[in-house]
Amino acid sequence: MTHRPPLGMEPAPTIARVAAEAGVSRATVSRAFGASHHLNPGTVATVRAVAARLGYVPNQTARALSTGRTGNVALVVPDITNPFFAALMRGAQARAREAGFAMFLGDSDELPALEDELLAKLAAQVEGFVLVSPRITQERIRHHAARRPLVLVNSEVAGMARLLVDTGPSYARAVEHLADLGHRRVAYVSGPTLSWSNGQRFAAVLAAAHKRGLHLTLFPAARPSFEAGRACAEQLIDQGVTAALAFDDSVAQGIVAGLAARAVTVPGDVSVVGCDGVIAATTFPALTSIDARCTAAGERAVDLLLDLLRDPASADQRITHPTDLVVRASTARACPLPARVAATLPRNPGPAASTLLESQS
């Protein structure tokens, strides 16, 4: 075939060249660079010297093809620009680098088909995957995991290595926090309906609201974004809600902006709680938010993958990653509703009554 080298470029010296020059076999040269265990130290030195003179460097690609070890891992996320994922990536890539691995990045743009494609294409080039908040089915996840070690983040698939950012307890605490401040009508503005994270968060909010007898309204938001948050501000007001728990900080910020546009202030008129903790401290007002310690989560996920690479039997690990509620400036004591608004609302259940859940389209 001889279809290379790209015109005028000298081809890099190969192992054969070094072997010839040093008067040994290719196998010996190979061993001089890899497992030099059973090699005569003198031979190693000779070979290394010749290699250095020729400027020989082992070809990573060929090595990978032969050994299956590429020194690469891949991180696949639904949206790089989401601060939560960005922070997670940062931790992941730092840890991977420390361990000597280079990292591929795949952005699936929230598209299951794209996610699937990325996983398939990358499989041959990586030793393992960290798949964050997958949008593909469990079946597909299993399919990919059968080919390469794979660590899930925020997805609950029995029998697989998974890191679950445990925001449930913190959301419960957030509800307590709001109840303590006197809020009786609260809302949960959801994220991707099918995602594990959203399920966990909503369940926690629902349970806690029930426990405290709060009136809870559910607002769906297909894609967690500033826009989605802003879009539901009006309904929030119409529903006479005095506090909103958002799926994440972006949504929360959208809510704040949407309310502001209608002259409703935070936290004066309405309290807002976010989640992630990446941008929460940098917004105005600073958001009361659940700190997911994203960077640490990224590191931990890669640690899990490294374990899996060493010992494939260590799959089926379920690691929960604790989170904290951080109270900042977007939550405050409930503001009594103007009488004219209150009159039009469903009756507020007493403290011991059960939660009334309403869904808004």
Spatial separation of the C-alpha atoms in residues 135 and 115, rounded to whole Å: 7
Are 254 and 226 a contacting pair, CB within 8 Å? yes
Which stretch of DSSP H or E encloses residue 73?
Answer: strand 72-77
Question: Cis (ω within 30 of 0) for the bond into 5?
Answer: yes
Tell which one of 48, 58, 285, 296 touches DNA (CB under 7 A): 58
Selection from its own copies, DNA, none that 97 binds (CB < 5 to 8 A by kind) is its own copies
Our finding on whether 53 is near DNA (CB under 7 A) is no
Spatial separation of the C-alpha atoms in residues 140 and 113, rounded to whole Å: 10
Are 209 and 239 a contacting pair, CB within 8 Å? no
Tell which one of 7, 38, 338, 350 touches DNA (CB under 7 A): 38
Give the nearest distance from C-beta 42 to DNA in angstroms.
7
Our finding on whether 4 is near DNA (CB under 7 A) is yes
Identify the three-state secondary structure at position 174: helix
Our finding on whether 30 is near DNA (CB under 7 A) is yes
Spatial separation of the C-alpha atoms in residues 248 and 227, rounded to whole Å: 12
Between 59 and 138, whose beta carbon lies closer to DNA?
59
Sole window of 55-63, 210-218, 235-243, 277-285 interacting with DNA (rule: CB under 7 A): 55-63
Our finding on whether 27 is near DNA (CB under 7 A) is yes
State the sign of the Cα–Cα–Cα–Cα dihedral 268, 270, 275, 279: negative
Give the nearest distance from C-beta 266 to its own copies in angstroms.
9
Our finding on whether 7 is near DNA (CB under 7 A) is no
Give the nearest distance from C-beta 251 to its own copies in angstroms.
11
- Closest by CA to 240, choosing from 176, 181, 186, is 186
Our finding on whether 125 is near DNA (CB under 7 A) is no
Sole window of 15-23, 102-110, 114-122, 306-314 interacting with DNA (rule: CB under 7 A): 15-23
Selection from its own copies, DNA, none that 33 binds (CB < 5 to 8 A by kind) is DNA
Spatial separation of the C-alpha atoms in residues 26 and 11, rounded to whole Å: 18
Single-letter code of the amino acid located at 61:
T
Single-letter code of the amino acid located at 10:
E
Selection from its own copies, DNA, none that 35 binds (CB < 5 to 8 A by kind) is DNA
Between 3 and 347, whose beta carbon lies closer to DNA?
3
Sole window of 14-22, 137-145, 162-170, 226-234 interacting with DNA (rule: CB under 7 A): 14-22
Q: CB count, 10 Å around CB of 157? A: 18
Between 22 and 161, whose beta carbon lies closer to DNA?
22
The set of residues, in sequence order, having a beta carbon less than 8 Å from that of 213 and lying 6+ positions away, is 349, 350, 351, 352, 353, 354, 355
Our finding on whether 52 is near DNA (CB under 7 A) is no
Residue bearing tokens 């299956």: 68
Residues that bind DNA (CB under 7 A): 1-4, 11-12, 14-16, 23-28, 30-31, 33-35, 38-40, 42-43, 56, 58-59, 62-63, 65-67
